Amino acid sequence: MSKKIIIIGATSGIGEELARQCVEKEYLVAGTGRRIERLEALKKELGNYFHYSEMDVTDHESSKQQLHELIRQMGGMDIIVLNAGISNYQASSITSMEQMIVDVNVSGFVQLFGEAFKYFRQQGYGQIVGVSSIASLFGSSRAAPYSASKAFISTYMQAYRQRSNSMNHDITITDVKPGFVKSEMTEGKKGMFWVAETDKAVRQMLKDIEKKKSHSVVTRRWILVAWLLRLTPNWILDRL
């Protein structure tokens, strides 16, 4: 029987490529996003293995209803990938820009994580995949709300992993930390290195999801960076 996976944030980058690679493996896939025209294009490309729904994760009640509607359409859900996120936003002030990043990356994530956890607990099994970032390991002066929001995601999932283990729930919680991956989010940004092709990063990510790993760093060379960041004293990080 085909695995059923829902990808929240599937209109570009990692989410879009993950939908393609899952369909190649004959998963039944559903994708969401705010840009309906991109979801329609994916539907034409991927055919009957792909379902979709327009979704704005900042509209909490609507997004939860749409999640359950996709579950109904697919006849269940085995895996959910919480990939919706932004790193910048056109706004009238820095404050409103930062608030929007928090609304999407934190509040939107929490609402759907909670809904998925409740569903899997009732079902008896499941896997929640959250896409955080290498940026979650340190505060960046150039992207304070983004790095902080990704740190929240990692810590939140760690806490729920502990809760799931202590209550003997068969729920796998996977934290994916990408380094720099080609996408609209990284396009035109300066100071990047080891920028991975999207298909390579997603291939590694999907392999770790299928192995039900708790942590996935993609691409693999970023494991070294993650290790160094964890060992670097704060007084050094504060001067970067």
> How many beta carbons lie within 10 A of that of residue 229, not counting itself?
15
- pLDDT category at 1 given cuts 50, 70, 90 is confident
- pLDDT band at 220; cut points 50, 70, 90: very high
Residue 29 has pLDDT above 90, yes or no: yes
What percentage of the chain carries pLDDT values higher than 70?
95
pLDDT > 90 fraction of the chain, expressed in percent and rounded:
73
Q: Using one digit for the tens of pLDDT, what is the confidence trace for 83-134?
A: 998 887 665 567 788 899 999 999 999 999 999 999 999 999 999 999 999 9
Please give the C-alpha separations between residue 198 and each of 7, 14, 21, 211, in angstroms, as whole numbers: 16, 6, 11, 20
Q: What digits encode the pLDDT tens for the residues 132-176? A: 999 999 887 778 899 999 999 999 999 999 999 998 889 999 999
Alpha-carbon gap, residue 167 to 145, rounded angstroms:
33
Predicted local distance difference test score (pLDDT) of residue 194: 78
Per-residue pLDDT band for 230 (boundaries 50, 70, 90) equals: confident
**pLDDT for the residue numbered 186:** 67
Class of domain 4-237: alpha beta
- Say if residue 32 is exposed, middle or buried (CB neighbours under 10 Å; 0-12, 13-18, 19+): buried
Note the pLDDT of residue 158: 97
What is the model's pTM? 0.92
pLDDT averaged over every residue in the chain: 92
67 vs 54, 96, 156, 238, CA distance in Å? 10, 27, 20, 40
Tracing tokens 């369909």 back to the chain, one arrives at: 23
CA 121 – CA 164 distance, rounded (Å): 9
What number of residues does the chain have? 240
The pLDDT confidence band at residue 196, using thresholds 50, 70 and 90, is confident
Residue pLDDT, tens place only, 59-79: 999 999 999 999 999 999 999
What pLDDT does residue 83 have?
97
Does the pLDDT at position 191 exceed 80? Answer: no
